[in-house]
Amino acid sequence: MNKIFNYSLLSFILLTICHLATAQKNNPGYQRCYTMEAIEQRLEKDPAFKARFEQGKRDYQFSTQKNETFNTLSYEALGITVIIPVVVHIVLNDPTIVTDDDVNYFIQRLNEDFSGLNADSTNAPEFYDKRGHSLIRFTLARRDPQGIFTTGIERKNGDINIGISEPQAIKNSAAGGLSSWPSSDYYNIWIGKGPEGVIGIAPEIGPGSAESDGVCIDYRVFTNNSCYANPLYNLSRTAVHEIGHNLGLYHIFHGGCNLSSDFGQLTTPGISLPVELLDPADDTPNQLESTNGCPSGNISSGCTVSPNPPGKMYQNFMDYTDDACYSMFTKGQVERMHWVILNARVGYLTSMGNIPPVTAPVNDAELTAVINPGGSENISGNCLSYTIPSCPGTINPRVRVTNRGINNLLSITVGLQLNNEDPVMKSFNINLGYGESAVLPLDAIDLDYGNNALKFFTNAPNNGIDQQMANDTLVKMIEILSPVTGVLIEGFESPTFPPAGWTIRNTDGDATWKRNFYGNNSNASAFFDNFNYDKAGETDDLVSLPLNTISLDSLVLTFDLAHKDYPGAKDKLTILVTGDCGQSYTIVYTKSGSDLSTAGSSTSEYTSPSPADWRRERIAIGGSVLNAGQLQIVFRNENDFGNNIFIDNIQIEPIKLVDRDLQLLLINQPGNVICDGKITPSILVKNAGSKTITGFKMGYRLGIENVISNEFTGINLSSGQTMLVNFSTGNMIAGQNQLTVFSYDLVTTGGNGDEQLQNDTLSMQIGVAGSIEAPFVEGFESFLFPPAGWAIGNYDDQITWQSALAGSTGSYSAMIRNFNYPLTGAIDELYTPVINYNNIDSLFLKFDVAASPSGLDHKDTLEVLITRDCGVSYTSVYKKWGTSLQTVTEFQTSEFQPTPQQWRTDSINLTQFASQSPMQIVFRNINRNRNNIYLDNIKIQTITLPARLKQEGLLLMPNPFQNSFTIWHYKQPSNLQFISVYNTTGQHVWKKEFNNNAGTNILIDLTGKPAGMYIIQLGYKDPGKNTSHKVIKN
């Protein structure tokens, strides 16, 4: 950019140099470049570097002067093509996912873009005259520093990530990375995983030191392999951008319109560009800020000194557009890079690193990787992953073979030996140049229980001798465990993860299930880091070892779960079962978002669950999924870039049928609340044994009353079948009643007597509502709770409405303890008696409520409903939560108990139900485990209007009056326009006009007026409806 440089505004410059693709976590993205941020950090910490930078300012300021001597070049131009030997260092948990073909594609893209011969250059016609064509070319190294033949690719298994500053651990073998080859002869590139979305970083604007030189690129933007590449950055142009920095280029938006220059001095100590390659060489338009996405056409630069057209040069490799929009360096940029090669990287001109030694093998077929089982491949743009078998059966092995010889590889034989059996050989005709690879399918083999040793090897490349036999063989060990019989318990306490016999399916080679050091009453758990994993929709499986299901009725899976959801994200945990090693699945559990959450929401990373955060989950697994004879449990995490999930204390218990077992499943009738006191119990039962049931007896008891029994004969209930058992009618008193149901004297085709007595009894609390006449008030001061005639709907038999020693005006109230109620979403209801009323005109409900703030996440809810059929159907008349419900402003970290000043009175007009007697009012709590809600002084008020008012439509009262009277309308007089008052002489003494705003009660004040008769005239929009009335003032 041609502009005036002001280094005194450096702090502003460095705040604008690199653009974040997203500023908030819930909108994931990548940071295009971190080079300038790293330089800013060095300026703060390194005085020598800062002094060097200050000298660079002075160099640039001098270059902005209009000096004719700048027209004569003081440097030698690069006149030959330079071929740079490249070493690609790959450090990942599984570095083989970046194949040699991926690296070859990368080298091809570098050469197209640096030469300026890339086919997509047509997207910048306005800048054709500025387009540069460099003489810089890249090739993989063919000999190492010791003169030994090499592929130019190093791989290392490890979890050392790319850093955000030098020194970089990934560049140091001793720190777990891979050390550089001599930077004087080789160009080093490191491929790894970037931190927090950083996808590229260079050490300097110019060459780095012997230890730091070379760029770091996130593997997901390195190449176009769809198995792991980000489609926005899959043309290898992040590397083009970062190598541009390493060869002396700044971002083209560096400093905005007037503050700085993208043709500033190098930051490399001891190396300075000539003045002609600073401001005089600047041939990019001024640009206010970076460009994101992939625009088209002419885009305004945001600078008045840069006209549009041509506008922004967003096609420049040193902007921030997506790869598909990058297409060019300028001539000035090319000249700077040429100077750096010729003066600061002169070793490239004589390097032998790109020339194979004479000892390079002519024929060398490398067995690079086993693809199936356990690997992945890209087939026509589709990524296909293969699992490690955990069941016996047939697999179709596939291997990747790479040509490491000088000659093209035209034929190869691949052998596979399973255990100590005779090897099976298969020959292939192919055509692979050096470094090219192919995935070759082998004949199917059968795996069995126990250890399966698969030995793969190559033979006779080009029908000759392989000159590098050390890379001809790979061995894959697959242990298939026999299905486990009995209870399986896994608490992840062993440091080995996954546990023995368990497997992980991680199709993208990125974040997956790991062992964590926070458990539920333990020191470990299985953990998935969704918080730092920005691949929404990606799934990862934790798969159990196989379980023996022969002769089982069911399996019961229980496990502890801890999760805080991230607002707006819905990470999902799905549990599947498979009886055929993943060929097919059945879903038995799926939860996400607030349903999955056990401890609310958080925008902070959830790293250490407290004991109260854990929830025990239980899943019964039965039916046809058990028919295969074995079963595996799959814990599947589906990422939505939300928050972390913890799993602990997995227990899988087999349930085997006994011969004789009648199981009581459910009290189908009555419901939890009834209104007439009569019950006819209906019970759902199941034959949980293997023998057919022909008869049984059942009884039920209400509280401590006598048992009511029934005998059921002539039954033909087969194993696994259910039936409804209906009892004779019994009576219950108003209030809370305990209903207990039980079975006995079981008769089956296999003998008599129940072998599983623990499932022969069910019980439930039933609230029987009484009746009451309106109006009434309930202050909960009685020792009895619920009060006489009231009823409680407690549907989970857990925490519910109770009496509390914290009243609004008295000593007691009704309260629900959400603070100690972990079952989020649970509903508990408090029913009034059946309310009777007759000939009323209005109905009102008033009650006092106390509630504390619920925090930022899910809110406890109070809802008021009307039912006319004892809870079969409802009409909601009130629903509040969060700030609309709370009566105090301070967030309560402990259990809330209100003071008298912390109550509020709420009122609900129920007049719509005035003609619908009888009815009940239901106070419903929806629990979110936040804090307590209190109710007090529940009042039902009725209003009955005078019969004359309803008959005539209005009344004037009192009449006679002293000083004032009221005109009381039965209905709002929306058409009333005026009221005038006259005395008996016709004198106008009072008037009021209306514009659709007249109320039902209008006060007329005649204070000071003499006693006597007055005439009241009411005027309406329709004069034919005008009326006159007489009143007497005493």
Are 597 and 571 in contact by the 8 Å Cβ rule? The answer is: no
Looking at residue 399, what is its pLDDT? 97
Q: What is the DSSP string of 486-544?
A: S-EEE---SSSSSPTT-EEEETTSSS--EEES--SSSS-EEEE--TT---TT-EEEEEP
How many Å apart are CA 932 and CA 862, to the nearest integer? 11
Among candidates 1012, 998, 928, which has minimal Cα distance to 968?
A: 998
Looking at the fold, whether 873 and 997 belong to one and the same domain comes out as no
Sorted by sequence, the CB contacts under 8 Å of residue 895 that are 6+ apart come out as 817, 819, 820, 931, 932
Are 919 and 871 in contact by the 8 Å Cβ rule? The answer is: no
How many Å apart are CA 107 and CA 111, to the nearest integer? 6
Q: State the chain's maximal CA–CA distance in angstroms.
A: 135
Looking at residue 14, what is its pLDDT? 33
CA dihedral 367, 368, 373, 379 (to 10 degrees): -110
Looking at the fold, whether 789 and 851 belong to one and the same domain comes out as yes
Looking at residue 155, what is its pLDDT? 94
How many Å apart are CA 267 and CA 40, to the nearest integer? 11
Buried b (16+ CB within 10 A) or exposed e, 292-307: beebeeebebbbeebe
Give 442's Cβ-side CA count (13 Å radius).
29
How many Å apart are CA 617 and CA 828, to the nearest integer? 21
Give 1's Cβ-side CA count (13 Å radius).
35
Are 468 and 507 in contact by the 8 Å Cβ rule? The answer is: no
Looking at residue 719, what is its pLDDT? 86
Place of tokens 């300075």: 272
* Tokens, residue 513: 């299930």
* Tokens, residue 380: 């026509």
Q: Give the H/E segment covering residue 105.
A: helix 100-115
How many Å apart are CA 806 and CA 849, to the nearest integer? 11
SS3 206: coil
Domain boundary among 315, 349, 383: 349
Domain boundary among 655, 687, 707: 655
Q: Give the H/E segment covering residue 469.
A: none
How many Å apart are CA 192 and CA 577, to the nearest integer? 35
Cα-based distances in Å from 496 to 525, 598, 766, 1007 = 12, 27, 51, 94
Place of tokens 């703060």: 44
Looking at the fold, whether 393 and 528 belong to one and the same domain comes out as no
Sorted by sequence, the CB contacts under 8 Å of residue 508 that are 6+ apart come out as 227, 228, 535, 538
Looking at the fold, whether 93 and 213 belong to one and the same domain comes out as yes
Looking at the fold, whether 232 and 147 belong to one and the same domain comes out as yes
Domains of the chain: total: 6
Question: What residues are paired with 560 via a beta bridge?
Answer: 616, 648
SS3 88: strand
Looking at residue 53, what is its pLDDT? 84
Are 178 and 219 in contact by the 8 Å Cβ rule? The answer is: no
* Tokens, residue 567: 């607002």
421 is catalytic: no
DSSP state for residue 918 in the 8-state scheme: S
- pLDDT tens-place string over residues 554-605: 899 999 999 999 999 999 999 999 998 888 999 999 999 999 999 999 999 9
For residue 87, tell me if it sits in a domain: yes
Domain boundary among 480, 496, 524: 480
Q: What is the DSSP string of 647-661?
A: EEEEEEEEE--BSS-
Looking at the fold, whether 492 and 345 belong to one and the same domain comes out as no
Cα-based distances in Å from 230 to 378, 477, 654, 728 = 14, 32, 44, 69
* Tokens, residue 983: 């005395």
Looking at residue 73, what is its pLDDT? 60
Looking at the fold, whether 956 and 878 belong to one and the same domain comes out as no
Looking at residue 795, what is its pLDDT? 87
The CATH number covering residue 668 comes to 2.60.40.10
How many Å apart are CA 145 and CA 154, to the nearest integer? 14
**Residue 929 Ramachandran class (φ > 0 left, ψ -120 to 50 alpha, else beta):** left
The CATH number covering residue 553 comes to 2.60.120.200
Looking at residue 26, what is its pLDDT? 40
How many Å apart are CA 803 and CA 761, to the nearest integer? 29
For residue 703, tell me if it sits in a domain: yes
Peptide bond into 973 cis (omega under 30): no
For residue 1, tell me if it sits in a domain: no
Looking at the fold, whether 860 and 876 belong to one and the same domain comes out as yes
Sorted by sequence, the CB contacts under 8 Å of residue 1034 that are 6+ apart come out as 960, 961, 962, 1011
How many Å apart are CA 144 and CA 155, to the nearest integer? 15
Looking at the fold, whether 710 and 572 belong to one and the same domain comes out as no
β-pairing, 187-192 vs 215-218, is parallel
For residue 54, tell me if it sits in a domain: yes
* Tokens, residue 51: 């002094």
**Dihedral sign from CA coordinates of 169, 172, 174, 177:** positive
Q: What is the DSSP string of 837-867?
A: --S-SEEEEEEEEEE----SS---EEEEEEE
Are 254 and 261 in contact by the 8 Å Cβ rule? The answer is: yes
For residue 643, tell me if it sits in a domain: yes
Among candidates 229, 242, 207, which has minimal Cα distance to 32?
A: 242
Looking at the fold, whether 930 and 961 belong to one and the same domain comes out as no
Q: Domain span at residue 921?
A: 771-943
The CATH number covering residue 1002 comes to 2.60.40.3080
Of 242, 335, 366, 638, the catalytic one is 242
Looking at residue 29, what is its pLDDT? 55
How many Å apart are CA 85 and CA 79, to the nearest integer? 19
Place of tokens 């309930």: 778
How many Å apart are CA 281 and CA 132, to the nearest integer? 12
Sorted by sequence, the CB contacts under 8 Å of residue 496 that are 6+ apart come out as none
- Angle between helices 35-45 and 47-63 in degrees, nearest 10: 120
For residue 765, tell me if it sits in a domain: no
Looking at residue 656, what is its pLDDT? 82
Sorted by sequence, the CB contacts under 8 Å of residue 962 that are 6+ apart come out as 1033, 1034
Q: Hey, how many other C-beta atoms are within 10 angstroms of the C-beta on 117?
A: 10
- Strands of the sheet containing 722-726, edge to edge, are 662-669, 682-687, 722-726
**Dihedral sign from CA coordinates of 406, 407, 408, 414:** negative
Question: What residues are paired with 382 via a beta bridge?
Answer: 379
For residue 301, tell me if it sits in a domain: yes
**Below-50 pLDDT ranges, the chain:** 1-28, 68
Looking at the fold, whether 938 and 954 belong to one and the same domain comes out as no
CA angle 81, 82, 84 (to 5 degrees): 150
* Tokens, residue 544: 């159990």
Among candidates 58, 59, 10, 23, which has minimal Cα distance to 256?
A: 10
Looking at the fold, whether 467 and 566 belong to one and the same domain comes out as no
For residue 692, tell me if it sits in a domain: yes
The CATH number covering residue 200 comes to 3.40.390.10
